[in-house]
């Protein structure tokens, strides 16, 4: 069965550079979530999209932006990278089903970003 | 405040032992997820619960809505079960709040 695909799997960038992470949700899923997991830390919610519109926002720095495209894939753009941005970035997708909540919440394998 | 607490933080057991990991949360929820994270980081979703009990192979997850508590059980544990197990809760806004995880090590 198709899963949530994230690319790239690993990314090394220098300070002040820009990075773009991509997430391809499970087919027919309409909601995408981005999480950041720093070394030894719990994953923290960054941002989510439903039907190409931002649905919720967490602790996402202003240097980061994201969007969801017409094919439901999402991209997380990170500019002016800092050493502290080094983390594992997870994407998850689900199918929103009002009012019963979301279904099929599935995680991607993550993108490990290292800023040097 | 929406909080998720897990216990224990670390658990070491012999192969074959019955394992229980606990999760408590502070307020009403839409759903609770049990996740498994191996070294290298990939997260696998084990269960999503909103009530009752689910079973898959040697894994069993239960939730008590009134007591705001969930447990993950592993029967006949095996070294390949060694991983970090994370409880993550949807407090109704569809984003997940994660517990701190339980690092499980099964010794042959």
Per-residue pLDDT tens digits of chain A, which is 116 residues long: 568 999 999 999 999 999 999 999 998 888 999 999 998 888 999 999 988 999 889 989 999 999 999 999 999 999 999 999 999 999 999 887 654 455 677 889 899 999 99
Residue B37 has pLDDT above 60, yes or no: yes
Among B3, B43, B86, B93, pick the best mutation site for testing chain A contact (most A Cβ within 10 A). Answer: B43
User: In chain B, which residues have their Cβ closer than 8 Å to the Cβ of A109?
Assistant: 41-43
Best residue of A86, A101, A106 to probe chain B, by most B CBs closer than 10 Å: A101
- CA neighbours within 13 Å on the CB side: how many for B23? 30
Q: Does B108 touch chain A (CB under 8 A)?
A: no
Q: Does B93 touch chain A (CB under 8 A)?
A: yes
Of A50, A27, A86, the closest CA to residue B41 belongs to A86
Average per-residue pLDDT for chain A: 90
Token pair of A77 as six digits: 């753009």
**Nearest Cα residue in chain B from A41:** B100
Torsion angle, CA of A11/A14/A19/A23, rounded to 10 degrees? 20
Q: SS3 for A106?
A: strand
Question: In b/e form, how buried is each residue of A36-60, taking b as 16+ CB within 10 angstroms?
Answer: bbeeeebbbbbbbbbeeeebeeeeb
**Strand A53-57 relative to strand A5-7: parallel, antiparallel, unpaired?**
unpaired
Nearest to A46 by CA among A116, A111, A115, A114: A111
Contact list in B for residue A102 (CB cut-off 8 A) is: 31, 90, 94
Separation of alpha carbons A40 and A110, rounded Å: 15
- Contact call for B86 and A42, based on CB within 8 A: yes
Contact predicate B16/B108, CB 8 Å: no
For residue B80, what is the DSSP state? G
């Amino acid at each position: 069965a198709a899963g949530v695909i994230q690319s790239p799997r690993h990314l090394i960038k220098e300070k002040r550079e820009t990075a773009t992470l991509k997430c391809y949700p499970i087919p027919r899923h309409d909601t995408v979530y981005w999480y950041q997991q720093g070394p030894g830390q719990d994953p923290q919610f960054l941002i989510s999209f439903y039907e190409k519109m931002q649905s919720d926002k967490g602790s996402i720095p202003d240097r980061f932006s994201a969007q969801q495209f017409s094919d439901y894939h999402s991209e997380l753009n990170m500019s002016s990278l800092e050493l502290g941005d080094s983390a594992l970035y997870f994407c998850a997708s689900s199918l929103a089903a009002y009012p019963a909540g979301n279904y099929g919440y599935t995680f991607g394998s993550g993108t490990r970003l290292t800023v040097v | 405040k929406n909080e998720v607490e897990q216990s224990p933080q670390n658990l070491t057991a012999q192969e074959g032992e019955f394992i229980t990991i606990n999760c408590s949360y502070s307020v009403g929820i839409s759903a609770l997820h049990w996740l498994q994270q191996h070294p290298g980081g990939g997260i696998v979703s084990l269960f999503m619960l909103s009530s009752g009990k689910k079973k898959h192979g040697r894994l069993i997850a239960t939730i008590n809505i009134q007591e705001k508590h969930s447990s993950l059980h592993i029967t006949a544990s095996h070294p390949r079960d060694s991983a970090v197990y994370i409880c993550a809760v949807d407090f109704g806004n569809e984003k997940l709040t994660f517990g701190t995880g339980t690092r499980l090590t099964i010794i042959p």
